[in-house]
Structure 1
Amino acid sequence: MLALRKWLFSGLLVIVPLFITLAVLKWIIDTLDQTLWVLPSVWQKWLYANNVRGLGVLLTLAILLGVGAIASNFVGKRLLGWGDAVVRRIPVVRSIYSSVKQVSDTLFSENGNAFRTAVLVQWPREGVWTIAFVTGMPGSDVVEHLGGGDYLGVYVPTTPNPTGGYFVMLKRSDCIELKMSVDEALKYIVSMGVVVPGGPSSIANK
């Protein structure tokens, strides 16, 4: 019975990650294949009739590269600036657009500092430690209310779902910068400490 139980769990450890990975990839491909609506209807019918899959991924990538190339030159920047100004004049839409654009500019900008550094902080109380990510530095009148000093904006993710969490402002001296990359820190958080950066060993195995 012990051998059967060991084999069962070993099989689950192999099958479950593989199944979830394939399911996620299938969902991504199916979602991106919906971009095929930009093609002429004759091509769409031929692709669906011959069950050609994955072309949406290539088409989406081509669209992103094309838009990026246009946005990188002088004319493209002027056009984007004009379009941005128009959108910001539309009530309701401008509020949503401005918020989303500000977040995306912070996350995806090459000059941004969001989620570039993993730190060790005491949370939710002194003596309890967790991993967090530096998102920037407090600005505006927030610094004045904090009484001066060197503070950092820090995002403390929840486990095992890091998309939920808390935004807090801590003194830089209370944040210990880690050598692990952001990807390694995310894996550590999602796995609830099972996947240890730098090796498979952990306190639980000692």
Structure 2
Amino acid sequence: MTAPAKPPRPRHWLITRIASAIRNNFFAGVVVIAPLGLTVWLIWTAVGWVDGFVMPFVPRYWHPDAMINRWLGNPRGSPEWIDVNIRGVGVVVFLIFTVLIGWMAKGLIGRSLLRAGEEILGRVPVVRSVYNAVKQIAETLISNSEVKFEKACLVQFPRKDCWTIAFITAPAKGELRERLSDGEDDPWVCLFRPNTPNATTGYLFFVRRSEIIELDMTLEDAAKLVISAGLVYPGEMPRGTLRNGEGV
């Protein structure tokens, strides 16, 4: 007859407290380090990508390592040659080049050259479609009269009584307003409903303004709520303005 198994020995309370403190401090450190580390990594990667794309177009004579060794008097291929990789030079070159192109494009000669180039591209079927699409997107995002979201709102999607966050882009205009109008005094608005966590993609809606719930939270808070999948929640909305101005 075998002896009964001994019950597991309970852990000492001090060990339990130390382990719990280590675990809590570790996760607290992750919360602090993760956003900072991810931000630094993204910036470092983006700068490196721009450098890798731009620097091959820069003459070797103007590369940082060539300029430094030329100043030190070290001939290329000699043992004294110093390899220098300064990240960010390509970004500076790209910014200067872009500013110069923009300055030239505003002048009479620049506008003439730009118009001639667009006419040439407009004769190539595939290139014409790609160029026009990219140009329209760039003008929309970068122009001085850029379009901004009006407000954040709630709209029922993908079914009734299931609400999602969307952004009011603008009132319906042109042909869309004429086609959708049915004589009622209830304007149609354009909504952008972003996806989570990639808020740069989503759905475009045209709905009546009475079918949405406008939110008091800022656009930034609404974007954080969408990107974080509801983990980052803004402050509570003041009572009395829950739905289309109806009090509670």
**TM-score range with shorter-chain normalisation?**
0.7 to 0.9
Could you tell me how far apart the structure 1 residues matched to 2:51 and 2:86 are?
Answer: 10
Q: Secondary structure at the match of 1:92?
A: helix
What is the aligned partner in structure 2 of residue 14 from structure 1?
32
> CA separation in 1, counterparts of 2:222 and 2:102?
30
Q: Relative to 1, partners in 2 of residues 1:165 and 1:90: Cα closer, same or farther, differing over 3 Å? A: same
- Aligned pairs (5 A) from 1:1-206: 1-34=19-52, 35-44=54-63, 46=66, 49-113=83-147, 115-124=148-157, 125-139=159-173, 141-148=175-182, 150-178=187-215, 180-197=217-234
Q: How far apart are 1:12 and its partner, in Å?
A: 1.0
Q: Return the alpha-carbon distance in structure 2 between the equivalents of residues 92 and 137 of structure 1.
A: 33
Q: 1:142 to 1:116 in 2, by over 3 A?
A: closer
Query: 1:24-60 CA deviation, whole Å, 9 max, x = no partner?
Result: 1111111111212222123336279212221111111
Q: What is the identity, as a one-letter code, of the residue corresponding to 2:109?
A: V
The residue type paired with residue 23 of structure 1 is W
Q: Which moved more, 1:21-30 or 1:182-191?
A: 182-191
Q: Percent of aligned pairs with the same residue? A: 33
TM-aligned CA deviation for residue 179 of structure 1: 5.3
Higher RCO (Cα < 8 Å, 6 or more apart): 1
SS in 2 for 1:26: helix
User: What's the TM-score once normalised by structure 1's chain length?
Assistant: 0.80
Shift of 1:166: 0.8
Paired amino acid for 1:129: W
- Unmatched tracts of structure 2, length 5 or more: 1-18, 68-81, 238-248
How far is the alpha carbon of 1:75 from its aligned partner? Answer: 3.2
Query: Aligned letter for 1:187?
Result: K
CA distance in 1, matches of 2:152, 2:197: 18
- What is the distance in 1 between the residues matched to 2:209 and 2:196? 24
Structure 1 counterpart of 2:60, which letter? S
Aligned-pair CA distance for 1:7 = 1.1
CA distance in 2, matches of 1:175, 1:67: 44
Q: In structure 1, give the amino acid aligned to 2:56.
A: W
Deviation per CA, 1:153-204: give whole Å up to 9, x if none: 221001111122111112234445555554443223212233344x6x79xx
> Which one has a bigger Cα radius of gyration?
2
In the TM superposition, what whole-angstrom CA distance separates every residue of 1:61-96 from its partner, at most 9, and x where no partner exists? 111211222223343233222222221221111111
Superposition RMSD in Å: 2.7
Consecutive unaligned residues of structure 1, counting only runs of 5 or more, are none
Give the total of aligned pairs: 199
Normalization by structure 2: what TM-score?
0.68
| Structure with greater helix share of residues | 1
**Which piece of structure 1 moves more, 12-21 or 172-181?**
172-181
Q: Which moved more, 1:35-44 or 1:25-34?
A: 35-44
Shift of 1:136: 4.1
Matched residue, 2:15 = none
CA contact (8 A) 1:156 1:168 kept: yes
